[in-house]
Amino acid sequence: MALTPRERCSKRLQGMQQVRLPYEPDWKTISRFAQPARSRFLNADTNQRSRRNTGVYDSYAIQSFRTLTGGMTSGLSSSSRPWFKAELYDREMMEDPEVRAWLDEVQRLMYDFLAHTNFYAAVETGYSEIGLFGTDACVMIEDGDEGAVCHALTVGEYWIALGKNLIADTLYRRAPMTVAQAMASFGKQCSQRVRNFYDQSNYDQIVDIFHAIEPNWDLASDKLDRRGKLYRSIWWDEGDDDKERLLRDSGYTEKPFWAPRWQTAGADVYGDSPGMVAIPDMRELQMQSKRRGEAIDFLVKPEMIVPTNIRLTGQPGSKVSAASVDKDLVAVPYQMPYQAIEAISSEVDKCRKSIDAASYAELFMAITNMQGIQPRNIEEIAARNEEKMTQLGPVIDRVNNEKLKVALDRTFGMMMRGNFFPPAPDALQGAEIKFEFVSILTQMQRMLGLGQIERTSAFVGNLVGVVPEAIDKLNVDEMIDEYADRAGAPAKMIRSAEEVEAIRQQRQQQQAAQQAAAMAPAAQQGADAARLLSEADTGDGGNLLQKLMPA
């Protein structure tokens, strides 16, 4: 007997839960030390914080990963500066002024659209998730009022599976709703149990809703309903006894979610993260911080042995009266040496430096934490952090390809369906649009190759002084294009090959005209001299010009 869609989804969810299980202990540890308000693992507590700040004696790890989150947010997709450009794969078509103007307008409208949604808040949460737990997940839903709503997820409330390209193409999530939210979202499709809660005014009763997003297994491109969508979306109520009832069965034209991973090996489903690297140091930091506090307490308020008839207040500056016969019987069995506090503090500092290194906080705080005379120049900062940027490079590529590209494709599709864009030029019919990333971190990664270009040009420039023919080896136009592309220079700053060729032809014509003008006086003098010679009579019927000309 064939399984119903809900039964099939429930069975697949069980398999995905087993895949996620080995990662959960590390996630819980990271959440405890670096983000107590994050991660939800308890089914009955999905709307509440599953972890508090209990047991955290030092907040340094929280601050370090906050620095990582802020650095990636401002460095990859800041709301205050450009981080993507709309372009075409066909570079020649990009030279068309009408096409460039349309792409510029599309780009402007997309920036404006995203700014009016919760997109930037959601991606910031995602950078925190990927840095701490290794995986970031977010669902972008079309909304008639807001344009789009991004549901930023945290570990413990979703499961993912990979497609054939080893990128997440399936996401199941627990989406708990109140009775009021469920009725507003699904109406009569809700179970009788939920409708009874609603009729009894139990509007805030939590309903366990599940949402499955996966490639459409019965895709029919010629259909206009959910069968013609690339991705299928299924909602169901876990508490509903009717295993055939679905709250909603719909689809998405393009991929509606992203789930990038920090680092993976082989066919790993979930990613490794800086948070996992920092687990030993975070544990050690909490233990040493607790010990330091205890050592200070023992130093300030040492343990004492006193007679039964003496009661100590334990407060600094307090006075206790005692008979002379008892005063010598008050003893301190162990006096905490003050050097112990300094030794423990040294261990605390080592843990903090290790956490900074693991979380890349030292990279994003390079100027603030730089040793030596301040301020340093930008070249020295780049040189000091080139190796770290190389290590961060694969993560930047993953985020650009598995997260930001998906978000932009989704945004472009929603805006096209909503008629947000002006009519496209006829030349664009059938052309494919792509998005080029120009964020700070992306540009810094590309700029790591500028040194080679500069050193090569300097070497050739010095060589030309000795061997002038060496300049013929250097393709100056290509060097300028490559340098401008790596440096992130605006496209309008660099002229196209056709414009350069036209300028050079015009310059050659001007030079030829100037040369002709410079030679004109000499030519005129030669013509006058020839005329005078031709007029000079030699007496034998000829002229002097004829005599001078060779036979």
pLDDT tens for each residue of 320-338:
665 655 555 667 767 778 8
pLDDT tens digits for 355-387? 999 998 887 776 445 555 444 555 555 555 565
| Rounded mean pLDDT, 531-537 | 61
Question: What DSSP string describes 481-535?
Answer: HHHHHHHT--GGGSPPHHHHHHHHHHHHHHHHHHHHHHHHHHHHHHHHHHHHHHH
| Rounded mean pLDDT, 84-99 | 84
| Rounded mean pLDDT, 489-518 | 75
- Angstrom distance (rounded) from CA 146 to CA 153: 19
Please say if the pLDDT value at position 415 is more than 80: yes
Please calculate the CA angle 524-528-531 and round it to the nearest 5 degrees. 140
| Rounded mean pLDDT, 454-483 | 78
If pLDDT is split at 50, 70 and 90, which confidence band does 92 have? confident
Per-residue model confidence (pLDDT) at position 95:
76
Smallest Cα–Cα separation from 282: which of 98, 483, 57?
A: 57
- Angstrom distance (rounded) from CA 321 to CA 311: 9
Please say if the pLDDT value at position 47 is more than 60: no
| Rounded mean pLDDT, 388-415 | 89
| Rounded mean pLDDT, 298-313 | 72
| Positions of E strands within 293-444 | 433-437
Please say if the pLDDT value at position 74 is more than 50: yes
pLDDT tens digits for 235-249? 999 988 888 899 999
| Rounded mean pLDDT, 423-432 | 85
Inter-axis angle of helices 378-399 and 60-76, to 10 degrees?
Answer: 80
CA diameter of the chain: 160
> What mean pLDDT value characterizes the chain?
82
Per-residue model confidence (pLDDT) at position 400:
93
For residue 192, the one-letter residue type is: Q
Which helix (H) or strand (E) segment holds residue 301: the answer is: none
Per-residue model confidence (pLDDT) at position 548:
56
Per-residue model confidence (pLDDT) at position 50:
45
Provide the 3-class DSSP secondary structure of residue 28. helix
If pLDDT is split at 50, 70 and 90, which confidence band does 126 have? very high
Q: Give 267: exposed, middle or buried? Use CB within 10 Å, 0-12, 13-18, 19+.
A: exposed
Please say if the pLDDT value at position 41 is more than 60: no
Tokens of 70: 């802020």
| Rounded mean pLDDT, 3-19 | 92
Per-residue model confidence (pLDDT) at position 318:
55
For residue 313, the one-letter residue type is: T
